[in-house]
Chain A
Amino acid sequence: MFALALLVALSAGDAPADSLVQRPPALAPRAAAPAALIVHSQPALPLVALRLSLLADDPAGYAGVGHLLQHLHYPALQEQVARVGGQVRLERNSDALVYTVVGPAAELAYLGGVLRSALAVPRVSETTLRIEAGVLAEERLAEWETAAGHVRAALRQQLFPQDLPATGTVAAARRWTVEALPGLWAQMYRPERVSVVAVGDVNVELVARAFGELPEPPAAPLPEPRVDTLPPRPPARAEATQGWLALGYAAEPGAEPAALSLAAWLLRRELRAHLPDASVEVEHWWTHHGQALVLVASAPEAALPVARRALAVGLPSLLPELTPGRVRAAAEALRREMLFHSRGPANMASLLGQFADRGGEPDAAQRFYDALGATGAGELERLLTTLAARTPARVELPPQPLPRRP
């Protein structure tokens, strides 16, 4: 686990300047193990989903470049996968760059080759790069323009300041150039940081053969070291006709993930029952940066004080409700949600891969599934008591005043 980064606020003249984000070196040995290959047989259909993930942070000072590379690869990947009637998905999360393709199992070798091509630096012009940088800028703003995204992004900055947005920052985007891409990729990519998950009508030998030797990183000079900076104000104002409240409790390192997921499930149900006029979500955030229990509510202005109080006392007020029966029911519900979510090969690959990317063993998803059933009320009580004693990160968005009719 990374040490928490230090956030230093700077000032330059009258205008508030961006703040520095210090991060560990991009290739800190959080996953020094060789490339993992996870194969799960789902023989119902001659279909296969392949998920390739590269565990990597963006190089310091170049936040967002990983996702930019994904955007630059996307048209070629899409075109190639469409030839076999398949689909391709890209994802940049806090842990990894992820590419998933799904298509006929008979095309396994072809699809493996397509995915391998994403491990090379894309050959693009500066114009293409600038166009895609523009698309990322829109994505960046979109995260902040919706209230639901805004409160979560602001909360993430408080809870995990080293976890920069996948879309990068305005300052970093200025440094993205075609010339710099090979060096940046050389810093991010190592074959031993790649994991492959295959789900479908396939076996380990076939998948191993389809991926063969992964390419070596390019021999390119490393980019000039820089630092990432965050703007002092959110990049965009949120559009919100209701008020939004968010609380985030960072969990201790080593906290049991299954217990946190159960606590989130139980708390969500409890808060929804107590706040019929509000929309409530309780989430378990879990990345290699750490874990947190996050409570988000939106409500009309008149209902905000009640919602604020309910969220503030949410954790301790759950304690008396923690009967063994309720905890068992929550575990059952969560397990069923996992089964439902993973009923197609692409989603099963995504689920298995997410667990592996967080530094887990190849069977981490299965262990989590088992741990849900093994977690008792006492363990949940201890977890909630510890969390409730901490000062949560807090974000509030007031409702926008609507223009009155004359």
Chain B
Amino acid sequence: MRRTLLLVAALLALPLAPAAAQDRWVVRTEPGTPVVAVEVLVAAGPADEDTAQAGVAYLAARTVVEPIRHALDSLGARLTLQAHKDALSFTLTAAPDAWEDAARVLLVALFRDPPAPAEIERQRRVVLAELRAREANPADALGRETDRALFGERHPWGRPAVGSAATVQRLSTQQVDDFLRTTVVPERALLALVGPVRRASADALFTPFFPPGPLPVAEPMPPTPADSVLRRDYNSITTWIAAVYPFPASADVEALGMLADAAAEMLEFSAARRSVYDVRAEVLARRGGGELRLQMVVPPEEAEAWAQRMRGVVASFADPSPAASARFREQLRHYRGVRLLSLETPEARARELARQYLRTGLASIILTLVDGLTGDRLAAASRALPEPLVVFLGPFYETPQGKAAP
């Protein structure tokens, strides 16, 4: 078949092929997309690690993928690795004529090849350097403090998914090897495939690697959150604030995504909010629920006021007034674009589908996005949120009433 830049995918225009419920892979056929993205999620992470072995999942994953980079380079394929709380994510992107070879290289390395002890040591050094750099980063520190407060000291998700320098330093080669053999296994994996591909090609490639049957479901441990407000001293000239709203599995995640986007817009730097250094908002959805996280960086003396403002902004979406309804149309118009752009690349769409599959257990090929969002749904999502957990990270001084900003 003659390959062309613009028409390579159109030649494979096919009706969309839905996945059977028991399949481990979901295929979204996209005529017109110039590359193929493969997302492999392995449900392995902190919940599978002892406290003393925190970070073994990430180190094990690196040990697997780094040695195959040269082979992937020669195929023109790109691979990224990310450790989530509930899964290891391997994202592969390759040209339509190379994706099968590239995916095979990854799957063989993941599930069939034994790790080399020398590679484990090499990757340990790299991971340690990475972790030491991250430990000095205030954004990372805020994430760690927030996780610990939100899930509890003893909860595996209260720890960073990548571990800490102290624990990674102590991991033995045998522990990494054992983790790979017992936990990074096909029984725990699922895939999403996006691009100009046929369902039959995916079936032919993936079937030998995966056992039949659905992904075993492990319900996460219930969290034991700390007090609603937490203050941590940090050597910085600004204060970092996180306001975290946990939500249950039944929450309207798309409405919460819109709420997060609109809240960030209402808090970000502007002529009227000159003291705001940075604002971030994200919705993290996992099996069993998730959380809406708002984060701000502000001057220490304004931290309390901004934390109050964050609560006020989130609560304001519960307002069913006509003014809020007019505002909703503008916010939805903005959010639709933001949401679409977040899925601009095929690998972003593959990630989204795989996460959706892992979270809900339902293999879908359709990205429903913002369709059907209404002011009522947004208001209901806002009303359903509990009081947030607020974490302050920055300079404080002691008062008779406790810690306060200068």
Query: Are A and B interaction partners?
Result: yes
Residues of A within 8 A of B (CB): 40-47, 82-87, 102-104, 106-107, 332-333, 335-340, 342-346, 348, 365-366, 369-370
In the complex the two chains form, what is the Cα distance from A362 to B111 in whole Å? 46
Count of inter-chain pairs, beta carbons less than 8 A: 100
Contact across chains for B334 and A85 when beta carbons are under 8 A apart = yes
Q: Are B334 and A82 in contact (CB under 8 A)?
A: yes
Q: Is the CB of A366 within 8 A of B334?
A: no
Chain A residue contacts of B333, Cβ below 8 A: 83-85, 107
Cross-chain contact of A343 among B4, B35, B75, B338 (Cβ < 8 A): B35
Nearest residue (CB) in B for A339 is: B34
Residue B289 at the chain A interface, CB threshold 8 Å = no
A40 near B6: Cβ-Cβ < 8 Å: yes
CB of B311 within 8 Å of the partner chain: no
Complex Cα distance, B338 from A40, in Å, reads 22
Query: In the bound complex, do residue B34 and residue A348 qualify as a contact, i.e. CB atoms below 8 Å apart?
Result: yes
B341 to chain A: which residues have CB within 8 Å?
A: 47, 85-87, 102-103
Q: A345 CA to B347 CA in the complex, in Å?
A: 13
Report which of A47, A106, A339, A340 forms a contact with B344, defined as CB distance below 8 A: A47
Contacts of A342 in B (CB 8 A): 5, 34
Beta-carbon contact of B334 and A343 below 8 Å: no
Q: How far is the CA of A86 from the CA of B35 in the complex (A)?
A: 23
Range class of the B interface residue count: 35 or more
Residue of A44, A84, A337, A369 with most chain B CB atoms under a 10 A cut-off: A44
Asked if residues A44 and B33 are in contact (CB atoms below 8 Å), the reply is yes
14 A-B residue pairs with Cβ-Cβ distance under 8 Å, sorted by A, are A43-B32, A44-B30, A44-B194, A85-B261, A87-B341, A107-B333, A335-B5, A336-B95, A337-B76, A339-B8, A340-B95, A343-B93, A345-B344, A365-B5
| Residue contact A104 to B98, C-beta cutoff 8 Å | no
A337 contacts across to B, CB distance below 8 A: 76
| Cβ B340 vs Cβ A45 within 8 A | yes
Q: Is the CB of B340 within 8 A of A335?
A: no
Interchain CA distance A85-B345 in the complex, whole Å: 16
**Which residue from B32, B93, B336 sits with its C-beta under 8 Å from A340?**
B93
- Given A40-B6, A343-B35, A365-B5, answer yes or no on A104-B344 (Cβ-Cβ < 8 Å): no
A366 to B34, CA, bound (A): 13
Closest to B348 in A: A344
- Chain B 176-188 per-residue mask, 1 if CB under 8 angstroms from chain A, else 0: 0000000000000
C-alpha spacing A82/B341, complex, angstroms? 12
Residues on A with beta carbons closer than 8 Å to the beta carbon of B334: 82-85
Q: For the complex, what is the distance from the CA of A345 to the CA of B31, rounded to whole Å?
A: 14
Known contacts being A85-B336, A104-B340, is A339 close to B35, with CB within 8 Å?
A: yes
> B49-65, CB under 8 A of A: which get 1 and which 0?
00000000000000000
Name the CB-closest residue of B to A201: B32
Is B227 close to A, CB under 8 A? no
In the complex formed, the residue of A with least CB distance to B10 is: A41
- For residue B346, which residue of chain A has the nearest CB? A343
Q: Among residues 65 to 99 in chain B, which have CB atoms less than 8 Å away from a CB atom of chain A?
A: 75-76, 78, 93-96, 98
**Interface mask (B343-379 → A, CB under 8 Å = 1, otherwise 0):** 1111101000000000000000001000000000000
A104 adjacent to B30 (CB under 8 Å):
no
State which of B5, B30, B31, B94 has its C-beta within 8 Å of the C-beta of A338. Answer: B5
Closest to B6 in A: A366
Name A47's closest neighbour in chain B (CB-CB). B340
Which chain B residues (291-326) contact chain A, with CB distance < 8 Å?
none
Contact of A86 among B76, B93, B337 (CB under 8 A): B337
For residue A87, which residue of chain B has the nearest CB? Answer: B341
B231 at the interface (CB under 8 A from A): no
Give chain B nearest CB distance to A101 CB in angstroms.
10
Q: Nearest CB to that of A338 among chain B residues?
A: B5
Known: A83-B333, A336-B98, A343-B347. 5 other contacts (CB 8 A): A47-B344, A85-B341, A103-B341, A335-B5, A343-B35
Assess the A369–B5 pair: CB atoms within 8 A: yes
A344 pairs with B340, CB closer than 8 A: no
Whether A340 lies near B35 (C-beta < 8 A) is yes
Do residues A103 and B344 form an inter-chain contact, with CB atoms below 8 A? Answer: no
**Pairwise interchain contact A102-B5, C-beta atoms closer than 8 A:** no
Contacts of A340 in B (CB 8 A): 34-35, 76, 78, 93, 95
| Interface assignment of B335: CB less than 8 Å from any CB of chain A | yes
- Report yes or no: B346 in contact with A44, Cβ–Cβ below 8 A: yes
Is B330 on the interface with A (CB-CB < 8 A)? yes
Tell me whether B32 and A42 are in contact (CB under 8 A).
yes
Residues of A within 8 A of B98 (CB): 336
B339: Cβ under 8 A from any A Cβ: yes
Residue of B nearest to A373 (CB): B3
Residues of A contacting B339 in the complex (Cβ-Cβ under 8 angstroms): 85
Bound complex: CA A187 to CA B275 (Å): 43
Q: Identify B33's interface contact among A46, A84, A87, A343, CB under 8 A.
A: A343
In angstroms, Cα B30 to Cα A196, docked, is 25
Q: Is the beta-carbon distance between B76 and A332 smaller than 8 angstroms?
A: yes
CB A405 to nearest CB in B, in angstroms, measures 26
Closest to B345 in A: A344
Q: Nearest-CB distance from A136 to chain B (Å)?
A: 24
Please give me the 6 A-B residue pairs with the lowest Cβ-Cβ distance, nearest first: A85-B337, A336-B76, A85-B338, A369-B5, A44-B30, A336-B95
Across-interface contacts of A339 in B (CB, < 8 A): 5, 8, 34-35, 95-96
Which B residues are in CB contact (< 8 Å) with A41? 32
| B218: min CB distance to chain A, Å | 32
Contact of B337 among A40, A103, A370 (CB under 8 A): A103
User: Which chain A residues border B31 with CB–CB below 8 Å?
Assistant: 43
Determine the chain A residues whose CB is within 8 A of the CB of B336 once the complex forms. Answer: 84-85, 104, 106
- A333 to B98: give the CA distance in the assembly, Å: 11
B72 to chain A, nearest CB (A): 11
A343 and B34 contact, CB distance less than 8 A: yes
Instruction: State in angstroms the CA–CA spacing of A336 and B32 once bound together.
Output: 15
Give min CB distance, A104 to chain B, whole Å. 5
A340-B349 Cα distance, complex, nearest whole Å:
15
Which of A342, A344, A346 has the most chain B CB within a 10 Å cutoff? A344
- Shortest Cβ distance from A105 into B: residue: B340
CA distance A221 to B90 in the complex (A): 60
Complex Cα distance, B34 from A369, in Å, reads 13
